[in-house]
Structure 1
Amino acid sequence: MDSKLAPNLATTLEQYLASEMEQHAIPGLGVTIARDGHILHVSGYGLANVEHNVRATPDTLFHSGSTGKMFTAAAVLMLIQDGRIGLDHLLKRYIPEGPESWNEITISQLLSMTSGLGNFAESFAPMPIRDKIVPINQWQDHSDEQLIALAALSPLLFAPGESYAYSNIGYVLTGLIIARICGKPYYEFLRERLFQPIGMASAREASWFDIVPNRAAGHSLRNDRLHNNQWTAPTLLRTGDGGLYFSPRDIAHWFVELDSPRMFNPDSIERMFEPALMRDGRPAFNGYALGWQNSEARGHRKIRHGGTWDGFRAEFIRFPTQRLSVAVLANLEQAQVARIGQEIAGLVEPAVAAYQPIAETNPGATQRDDDLLRAIAARRASRDAFSEKAWQEWSHNWFEQALGETETDLAAVPLELVDHVGDGAAYKRRYRLPTGRYHMHWMVQRAADGRVTEMRFHME
């Protein structure tokens, strides 16, 4: 453990993490805390490998999952600084063999999830295309050309720029674009231009075949029993949508770079975190930027991204006003690292403390909001339940965007009241929705006439 936390805070943190790991059967964790350009805490907890009883350390390597997207986006920003690509450049400028449906897609739309591209369906044998979703066999290795061909089969969910949908395909293609520009895989470009210069000494592409010192093993829970994660073909471990290994110590240096950049100019850092806008001028419902999502906690801006792959989970959180960054890496697919990361941030900075369930003071209000949530989940929300402004905002795809981000059916999710202002007809309430590996937070504000004037969903 490398820690500059006050002794009592370090003890509280260790006790909290020990309790979480025991309660949720998490084999191992990596934790990084940085503030104002300084590393406060880097540590490993539990086991990196259960079979061999190997302890997790600050140098244990975990799989990035989709947190790797921020590095793919960072590579594009570095190429922009080099004058080799532009966010407004068209996808087909770099992959001209793509279908006509890609003609209007820009690099910015690939990175901000507004391209209209979606995701592959994970399969373990050849399967037909169903419900307009293209399957990809996780047990089959793929060439770059095969990945492009599969992506080309995927129909657009909407016209480029018209809406938002989380898209791994967009980042797979971005990784291939970087390779075509640089003449080397995107992760080699990152290693040379970012990882090595800023001190991310062990960060690298994921690999089944290489001997990788300090690599953790991924795990999953099945029927409450711990298992090794299933095998995945080598190519699909290291694509641009999230194919990296890194340690808690590596991420500490990444956070320092974001606070005190040496490889990026200020415009690039600002662009990295600024929510992208759809064609109608509205941001996506979760404020997706370039490999980061914008959220809030207790009124403070929160920038985050999570990841899941190969039996690992990862969560990166930044509170720019507080200059505080937290990362949690886990080698268990079901670990609720977003919730853990928020709890850690609150231990360090009480102003952003995690929301906790509070006593109900107005059961009728909760029932009214519960009915609204069920109506939204059933896609039958009434226009009369919203003010004109709120309805115009949400009826243009935001309902679908919110539902698309959940891991479970919102119709079956209980509401946990965590904050409220006002107990009359006019009020502002916040609920926590347990939706699988994440908690989603729902803020709903009503006027005196009972209509919704503002509503937001945020990932914890």
Structure 2
Amino acid sequence: MSKKKATWGLAPFFLAPLLIFAARETRSSDAAAEVAAKVKVYIKPYLDMKAFSGSILIAKKGKVILKEGYGLANYELSVPNTPQTKFHIASISKVFTAAAILMLEEKGLLAVDDPLTKYVPDYPGGEKITLHHLLVHTSGIPNINNFPEYGNWSRFPQTPASLIEKFKDRPLNFPPGTRYDYSNSNYNVLAAVIENISGRSYGEFLKENIFDPLGMQDTAHDGNPAVLIENVASGYAPAGVDGFEKAPYLDWTVKTGNGSITSTVEDLFKWDRALYADEILSSASRTKAFTPYVDDSVGYGWFISRRHNRRCIRMNGRSPGFQGEIHRYVDDGTCIVVLSNNYSGAASFMIDDIAAIAFGEPYEPLTVNKDLEIDAKVLASYLGAFQGGADFFVPNASLTLENREGRLALRWSMGGLSWLVPVSSSRFYDRTFGGLVTFGKDEGEVSHLTYRSSGRDYRANKKKM
């Protein structure tokens, strides 16, 4: 046999692995295209009623299968959202604050079981509050966001020290470690701890120790309102059935530590990948971060749960003009990020269905009919006051259903107005919080409403006149 014939005889053995690889790549590309097509159809109703504008990223096993921008980053200038658009990520910022604390612990500069007074010496009662209590919201420190003065404070520059001054002398809501109560104040305090120990500002520490090492060049602490942020989205709020209004002005330093960071879906995916290795946090620190310490769900900056019968490590955020979600299905290597510049609950409502699409599981697409005219008598039967219990979507909330020029609106006792878009004559989509409102009857009379959010139903009973 000639050398030439021998070479050609071996060719199939060399080509076979390449053909198998090519076939796998084709299948992967086809699957990604199918996911993208389904997501496009799924989000159309949200886009049509302007309940969502933002960016979405889906990745599996380290490979991005979808990244896309939807709607506008700025409605006044008609600038579209893209995967590179920066959004304020609100409470998703907490995952970076918690990581910074764990990094300082790795360096031997603190321990999470240390008392607060070790790092903020003049904090009243701080000897009974540990850093762990702050990380998992069991400190008892009241939530700064709930103070009546907060709206005024949020319009002016703040520092972690100035924020602490606003709540440190207020009584604790409960003895430290005895209860869970989500409080943004905890992470204001943790930002102060980071600054006091490191000698760097909160933003500088994150940049130098997390963002720069990971190449997260589009992520930063918004610490100076005079500084221009390139490619950042403007924030909006739902107005009416399909309109927008500008979100109120906010100096984001009021959220230092708990919600002051801007980022992109692409950068948050870089963060997701880093959490599978020792690039920023050791295996021991990652285990600490992802351990559910309270109610089998509260970790250090993250919530831990099971969704779609899979372990899900997630965080969400919502601040005026913005909302976001990051869900990490760590056993599958799947990451889903939804960031929005609309102060609507759509991102939280959508992300579970987007995960179902990614996993090839059933999901319920949203169908709305914003032009549906509800019979005046039917609409009138829905009006009035409804009362939720301790297990309601917002515990013990009172709700008032109002007729606003032939449109149904829901006013919440804690403040805020939800515009309801018809799905049918008895079911409505809440443009503000992203839930579904269904009216129920007993003996022919409207007796209650059911508020559906994140796959759960919450009942509020109608008050008798």
Query: Shorter-normalised TM-score: what interval?
Result: 0.7 to 0.9
Q: Measured at CA, do residues 180 and 253 of structure 1 come closer, stay the same or move farther in structure 2, by a change above 3 Å?
A: same
**Alignment counterpart, residue 344 of structure 2, candidates 328, 334, 352:** 334
Q: Measured at CA, do residues 156 and 45 of structure 1 come closer, stay the same or move farther in structure 2, by a change above 3 Å?
A: same
Which moves more between the two structures, 29-38 or 165-174? Answer: 29-38
**Alignment counterpart, residue 164 of structure 2, candidates 141, 148, 151:** 148
Matched, 1:93 2:110: no
State the partner residue of 1:361: none
Matched, 1:229 2:251: no
CA–CA separation in structure 2 for the residues paired with 1:160 and 1:106: 8
Please list every run of 5 or more consecutive structure 1 residues that lacks an aligned counterpart in the other structure. 128-133, 277-282, 358-375, 380-401, 417-431, 444-460
SS of the equivalent of 1:325 reads: strand
Q: Measured at CA, do residues 17 and 355 of structure 1 come closer, stay the same or move farther in structure 2, by a change above 3 Å?
A: closer
State the partner residue of 2:302: 292
CA–CA separation in structure 1 for the residues paired with 2:330 and 2:227: 37
**Alignment counterpart, residue 331 of structure 2, candidates 321, 332, 336:** 321
Matched, 1:217 2:237: no
**Alignment counterpart, residue 128 of structure 2, candidates 104, 114, 125:** 104
State the partner residue of 2:311: 301
Please list every run of 5 or more consecutive structure 2 residues that lacks an aligned counterpart in the other structure. 1-27, 367-386, 402-409, 411-425, 429-448, 459-465
State the partner residue of 2:260: 243
Matched, 1:162 2:178: yes
State the partner residue of 1:77: 102
**Equivalent residue pairs, number:** 365
State the partner residue of 1:387: none
CA contact (8 A) 1:122 1:136 kept: no
Aligned ranges for residues 15-414 of structure 1 at < 5 Å? 15-26=41-52, 28-100=53-125, 102-121=126-145, 127=149, 137-206=153-222, 207-224=224-241, 225-236=243-254, 238-276=255-293, 283-284=294-295, 287-350=297-360, 354=363, 378=389, 406=395, 408=397
SS of the equivalent of 1:314 reads: strand
CA–CA separation in structure 2 for the residues paired with 1:136 and 1:87: 33
Which moves more between the two structures, 71-80 or 136-145? Answer: 136-145
Q: What amino acid does structure 1 have at the position aligned with 2:248?
A: Q
SS of the equivalent of 1:329 reads: strand
Q: Measured at CA, do residues 49 and 222 of structure 1 come closer, stay the same or move farther in structure 2, by a change above 3 Å?
A: same
Q: In the TM superposition, what is the alpha-carbon distance from 1:333 to its structure 2 partner?
A: 0.5
Q: Measured at CA, do residues 61 and 336 of structure 1 come closer, stay the same or move farther in structure 2, by a change above 3 Å?
A: same
Q: Measured at CA, do residues 142 and 196 of structure 1 come closer, stay the same or move farther in structure 2, by a change above 3 Å?
A: closer
Q: Measured at CA, do residues 409 and 305 of structure 1 come closer, stay the same or move farther in structure 2, by a change above 3 Å?
A: farther
Higher gyration radius (CA):
2
CA contact (8 A) 1:305 1:317 kept: yes
CA contact (8 A) 2:315 2:326 kept: yes
Q: In the TM superposition, what is the alpha-carbon distance from 1:122 to its structure 2 partner?
A: 5.5
Q: What amino acid does structure 1 have at the position aligned with 2:83?
A: P
Q: In the TM superposition, what is the alpha-carbon distance from 1:261 to its structure 2 partner?
A: 4.1
Q: In the TM superposition, what is the alpha-carbon distance from 1:153 to its structure 2 partner?
A: 2.8
Q: Measured at CA, do residues 7 and 67 of structure 1 come closer, stay the same or move farther in structure 2, by a change above 3 Å?
A: same
State the partner residue of 1:439: 454
CA contact (8 A) 1:318 1:324 kept: yes
CA contact (8 A) 2:141 2:183 kept: yes
Q: Measured at CA, do residues 203 and 336 of structure 1 come closer, stay the same or move farther in structure 2, by a change above 3 Å?
A: same
Amino-acid identity (%): 27
Q: In the TM superposition, what is the alpha-carbon distance from 1:24 to its structure 2 partner?
A: 4.2
Q: In the TM superposition, what is the alpha-carbon distance from 1:409 to its structure 2 partner?
A: 5.0
Q: In the TM superposition, what is the alpha-carbon distance from 1:29 to its structure 2 partner?
A: 1.2
Superimposed CA distance per residue, residues 233-272 of structure 1 (whole angstroms, 9 cap, x where no aligned partner): 3421x51011100011111111111234422211111211
SS of the equivalent of 2:327 reads: strand
CA contact (8 A) 2:160 2:256 kept: no
Which moves more between the two structures, 207-216 or 165-174? Answer: 207-216
Q: Measured at CA, do residues 243 and 99 of structure 1 come closer, stay the same or move farther in structure 2, by a change above 3 Å?
A: same
Matched, 1:10 2:36: yes
SS of the equivalent of 1:16 reads: helix
Q: Measured at CA, do residues 301 and 144 of structure 1 come closer, stay the same or move farther in structure 2, by a change above 3 Å?
A: closer
SS of the equivalent of 2:102 reads: helix
Q: In the TM superposition, what is the alpha-carbon distance from 1:50 to its structure 2 partner?
A: 0.6
Q: In the TM superposition, what is the alpha-carbon distance from 1:33 to its structure 2 partner?
A: 1.6
Q: What amino acid does structure 1 have at the position aligned with 2:288?
A: R
Give me the TM-score of the superposition, normalised by structure 2: 0.71
CA contact (8 A) 1:104 1:160 kept: yes
CA–CA separation in structure 2 for the residues paired with 1:354 and 1:179: 45
CA–CA separation in structure 2 for the residues paired with 1:303 and 1:433: 28
CA contact (8 A) 1:91 1:103 kept: yes
CA–CA separation in structure 1 for the residues paired with 2:119 and 2:134: 13
Q: Please report the RMSD computed on the Cα atoms of aligned residues, expressed in angstroms.
A: 3.1
Superimposed CA distance per residue, residues 266-315 of structure 1 (whole angstroms, 9 cap, x where no aligned partner): 11112111111xxxxxx32x611111112222432222221111300001
Q: In the TM superposition, what is the alpha-carbon distance from 1:15 to its structure 2 partner?
A: 2.2
Superimposed CA distance per residue, residues 394-440 of structure 1 (whole angstroms, 9 cap, x where no aligned partner): xxxxxxxx669659559999999xxxxxxxxxxxxxxx9636xx536
SS of the equivalent of 1:48 reads: strand
Q: What amino acid does structure 2 have at the position aligned with 1:8?
A: E
Q: In the TM superposition, what is the alpha-carbon distance from 1:194 to its structure 2 partner?
A: 1.0
SS of the equivalent of 1:268 reads: helix
Q: What amino acid does structure 1 have at the position aligned with 2:48?
A: E
CA–CA separation in structure 1 for the residues paired with 2:188 and 2:39: 37
Superimposed CA distance per residue, residues 81-127 of structure 1 (whole angstroms, 9 cap, x where no aligned partner): 11111110111111111112x3211111101111112312457xx85
SS of the equivalent of 1:197 reads: coil
Superimposed CA distance per residue, residues 185-229 of structure 1 (whole angstroms, 9 cap, x where no aligned partner): 222211111111112111001242211111100000233431111
CA–CA separation in structure 2 for the residues paired with 1:182 and 1:87: 15
CA–CA separation in structure 1 for the residues paired with 2:299 and 2:85: 29
Q: What amino acid does structure 2 have at the position aligned with 1:441?
A: R
